[in-house]
A and B are shown apart, each in its own frame.
Chain A
Amino acid sequence: MRPILSVSGLCKSFGATTALTDVAFTLGAGERLAVLGENGAGKSTLIKIIAGVYPPDRGEMTLDGAPHRPSSPGAALAGGVSVVYQEPSFFPRLSVLENLYVGREPRDRAGQVDWRRMHGRGEELFRRLDVPVELLSRRMDALSLAEQQLALIARAVDVEAKVLILDEPTSILTDAEVRRLFLIVQRLSDAGVGVLYITHRFEELEHVADRFIVLKDGRLAGDLPASAADHDRILEMMSGRPVNAAISRSAARPGPVMLETSGLTVPGAVSDVDLTVRGGEVVGLYGLVGAGRTELALTVFGVLRPTSGTMRVDGRPHTPRGPRDAMAAGIAYLPEDRKTLGIFPGMDTLSNITAVKLPELLGRLGVIRRAEERKLATTWIDRLRIKASTPAFPVTGLSGGHQQKTLFARQLATEPKILILDEPTRGIDVATKTDIQQRLVEVAREGTAVLAVSSDLPELLAVSDRVYVMREGRVAAELSGDDLTEDAVLRATMGVNP
């Protein structure tokens, strides 16, 4: 196979932190190479160097036989490196067509933006990918979620790339879209494009990779063909120690009903949902993105108002006017997006943990009792094994997984009756993920009613005693016991009868 991209001796440090040390690999034309590694292993840094976001400190890169030293992301793009970042950015107030061509607008001889040619190319692209052409003239923010997703994939694919880099593209995609993406990746690799695919999901490996490399602490820890993708072995390479990925789950002894909704309806999001969660059990909530799961959680937490239906918490009617009411009723909510909805980035780990608990830590004259606050934070840092050397460690200095643990600690510290988690382990390395899942089950077994929203089906199956599947705002299925299988959940999700 002709090599299309090769890197050797790549090193990169940020201040005192070493991100990459002597990384070397070769990507062949038409090859699909998966890059695995825990958070902080250097995957993102590697991509960003190839994509021209950072210059390497040392090392050489060769793209299609020529030296590759991009001075900017634009230069890398022009050289044939197309990247879909983990959280793809788009331009909500521009048309879909313009979104496709930002930064590479076709121009005529006078240097003007050639709208007609742009439109022609956009139409051809959408036809090729089977996306409705009439979307092109709509504004991006007037599209449905699935349509936006399709447009973003189309944008990445349209660049005449020699190397396509996908950074965890599936973490916000639904299963149907993931399959569409795999198909597109397959076509591109057939056409000779080298694909670099960053993922946290083992089950994707066989679909998207011919070979995989494993990064650990910024070094290359393995380079194997996909046929050798033995999950235990990869885990070992990633973490450097044997990991038992399976979590232990004792049989649930469900207690009294803690949360009950009946006929709950939020226009445009949730319709007629009946749901119960008992103390002591983990109830999973599955569905495609946009199925109404998060909205349901937000309604229980008092952020969204239902137009009809009732809720009961611990037997009492629950009509929250806002999150404060919901919290007073004993509900804790861990939001979906920790960066924008949870972490207080300017603060230390301690303050992040105790933020919600502060009213109970006040002494006379409303002064915070620092010693007690510190004790509380230290307790949770120890219990969840948060990697903060001191409670005063800045929370942004923690890895994503440990930031998530910090948020988890914040909610657990309130000793909630009902704990609602929205995508509790998204984008987190495997070891931390397993750790959080295990804690989640333990919390339930101690008597808390846990409602977990997740798009990660293996996770949901591992932790849940019961699963509700939502589809287009409704509960499509309630599954438990022997009926709770991957197949049954997927069928309900897709609206296929068993």
Chain B
Amino acid sequence: MTTTTVPSAFAPSARMLVVLRNALLPILLVAEVIFFTVAAPGFLSAANLANVVINSADLALLAAGVTLVVLLAGIDVSVGPMLGVVAWVGATLFVAGTPPPLVVVIALLLGGALGAVNGALVVGGRISPIITTLGTAAIFKTVLFILWDSTDVFAGPVVPALGPARAGGLPLVGLVVLAVFGVLAYVLRHRVFGRRLFAIGNDAEGARLLGVPVGRTAFAAYVLVGVLVGLAALIYVGRVGVVQATAGNELTLPAIAAVVVGGTSILGGEGGVLRTLGGLAFIALLQNGVVLMGVPPLWNGVLVGAAVALAVAFDVLTRRTLDKRIGARK
């Protein structure tokens, strides 16, 4: 038997496209840092960067969760409102004198339960993830509004590590975030569950035929998103200090932005949480930098929206080019 070598006219350009996809974010990040260092005095100071970390820690955990479901070609646009509900419950229990460790456990369980609702609808009900989570997002918003009942809940950090505390100048939540991302990166690379997410995101039916429990894995991913939202909700309480009627709503879009800007494909099957960390850094530094430059915070929405649109357009266009080659074989 001899080795077949069929000339692959497309392969080099496809490889270059993959390289470009991987290199784009680091280049943008460096350019961003240089730009703001020059344009915004104080941007590159330790104090400012610590602030950025504290202000985006809850967002980071939401983005980590969204990454998991985007990898399996799903999405969760309910993470912001879900965070609001858990934040209200957590803050209310804490203020009522519930022991902090118990508050943490309840927040994680509640988040997981809300995530399970999404998972059950997507997997069991076979409803598309975007519709499911748009629906549950609306429900979570209403639930929070009813719970809130015209009374803001004021609360401090449930435990110090989930607040703005620093140890030797390093923000403690930053360490929490790094630990979570570290664990998730390990799971995605070295645990079977993680590899299954990728396989399902590439071809769910194909994965099923090879013995991958597609439904169970997807359900678990949505539950995991909820658990991460639960933790993020307590960080939110520690950061903001108050839970209002629309708590968390503003976080959904930047969380998805961090995922897609990071380079996890919105079409599934490719990416990872460390990329999301890069995407998050880009979004968080962007929001911080323009404020330091004196641009009204109102413009944040425009910048984040534009970043999402550009990142998704780039993703879809390059993927289409790559997929065209695959389509050619059939």
Residues from chain A with a CB closer than 8 A to the CB of B325 are 141
Which of A78, A115, A130, A143 is close to B2, meaning CB atoms less than 8 Å apart? A130
Whether A346 is near chain B, meaning CB under 8 Å from some CB there, is: no
Bound Cα distance A147, B198 (Å): 22
> Which residues from chain A contact B206 at a C-beta distance below 8 Å?
89-91, 102
A111–chain B nearest beta-carbon distance, Å: 7
The reply to whether B211 and A75 form a contact with Cβ atoms under 8 Å apart is yes
Smallest CB separation, B157 vs chain A (Å): 35
User: A87 contacts the other chain (Cβ, under 8 Å)?
Assistant: yes
Please report which residues of chain B, range 218-275, place their CB below 8 angstroms from some CB of chain A when the two chains form the complex.
265, 269-270
User: Can you list, as one digit per residue, whether each of A173-186 has a CB less than 8 Å from chain B (1) or not (0)?
Assistant: 00011001001000
B30: Cβ under 8 A from any A Cβ: no
**B166 is an interface residue with CB less than 8 A from chain A:** no
Number of interface residues, chain B, beta carbon within 8 A: 44
Interface presence of A389 (CB below 8 A): no
**A146 lies within 8 A of B6 (CB):** yes
Q: Is A228 an interface residue (CB 8 A)?
A: no
Judge whether A172 and B11 touch: CB under 8 Å.
no
Q: Which of A90, A98, A115, A336 contacts B203 (CB 8 A)?
A: A90
Complex: chain A residue closest to B199, CB-CB: A102
B126 CB within 8 Å of chain A: no
- Alpha-carbon distance between A177 and B9 when the two chains are bound, in angstroms: 19
The reply on B167 being an interface residue by CB < 8 A is no
Contact B330 A89 (CB under 8 A): no
- Size category of the A interface is 35 or more
A288 to B5, CA, bound (A): 13
Interface 1/0 per residue, B3-27 and A, CB below 8 Å: 1111111110011001000000000
Are B8 and A83 within 8 A (Cβ)? no
Is A89's CB under 8 angstroms from B11's CB? no
Tell me whether A113 and B195 are in contact (CB under 8 A).
yes
Q: Which of B3, B18, B211, B328 has the most CB of A within 10 A?
A: B211
Inter-chain contact A113/B190, CB cutoff 8 Å: yes
Q: Do the beta carbons of B6 and A147 come within 8 Å of each other? A: yes
Q: Closest chain A residue to B209 by CB distance?
A: A73
Contact check, B213 vs A74: say whether CB atoms are below 8 A apart: yes
In the complex, whether A337 has a CB less than 8 A from a CB of chain B is yes
Contacts of B10 in A (CB 8 A): 144, 268
Cβ–Cβ < 8 Å partners of A149 in chain B? 329
- Please tell me if the beta carbons of B210 and A143 are within 8 angstroms of each other in the complex: no
Is the CB–CB distance between A107 and B192 below 8 Å? yes
The answer to whether B265 touches A77 (Cβ under 8 A) is no
A267 to B210, CA, bound (A): 37
Q: Are A89 and B205 in contact (CB under 8 A)?
A: yes
A104 within 8 A of B: yes
Chain B residues near A142 (CB-CB < 8 A): 11, 14-15, 18
Chain A residues closer than 8 Å to B199, beta-carbon distance: 91, 94, 98, 102-103
The residues in B between 311 and 330 inclusive whose CB is less than 8 angstroms from any CB of A are 322-323, 325-326, 328-330
Residue among B7, B195, B269, B328 making CB contact with A93, cutoff 8 Å: B269
Q: Using known A-B contacts A92-B323, A104-B211, A269-B9, determine if residue A172 contacts B329 with beta carbons closer than 8 Å.
A: yes
Using Cβ atoms and an 8 Å threshold, which residues of chain B touch A139?
18
In-complex Cβ contact of B192 among A94, A113, A147, A472 (8 A): A113
- Contact A336–B8 (Cβ < 8 Å): no
With A89-B206, A147-B8 known as contacts, the answer to whether A172 contacts B330 (CB < 8 A) is yes
> Which of chain A's residues have a CB closer than 8 A to the CB of B3?
130-132
**Chain A to chain B contacts (Cβ below 8 Å), 16 pairs:** A74-B213, A91-B199, A102-B206, A102-B207, A103-B211, A104-B210, A111-B191, A113-B189, A113-B191, A139-B18, A141-B323, A145-B8, A145-B329, A172-B329, A268-B10, A269-B9
Please give the residue numbers on chain A whose beta carbons come within 8 Å of chain B beta carbons, in ascending order: 51, 53, 72-75, 77-78, 83, 85, 87, 89-94, 98, 102-105, 107, 111-113, 115, 129-132, 139, 141-150, 172, 176-177, 180, 183, 267-269, 288-290, 294-295, 336-337, 340, 472-473
The 7 closest A-B pairs by CB, nearest first: A74-B211, A89-B206, A144-B8, A103-B210, A91-B202, A268-B9, A146-B6
Given A93-B201, A144-B7, A145-B328: 19 more A-B contacts, CB < 8 Å: A53-B209, A73-B208, A77-B211, A89-B203, A94-B199, A102-B195, A102-B206, A102-B207, A107-B192, A129-B1, A130-B3, A139-B18, A144-B8, A145-B6, A146-B8, A147-B8, A148-B326, A267-B9, A290-B329
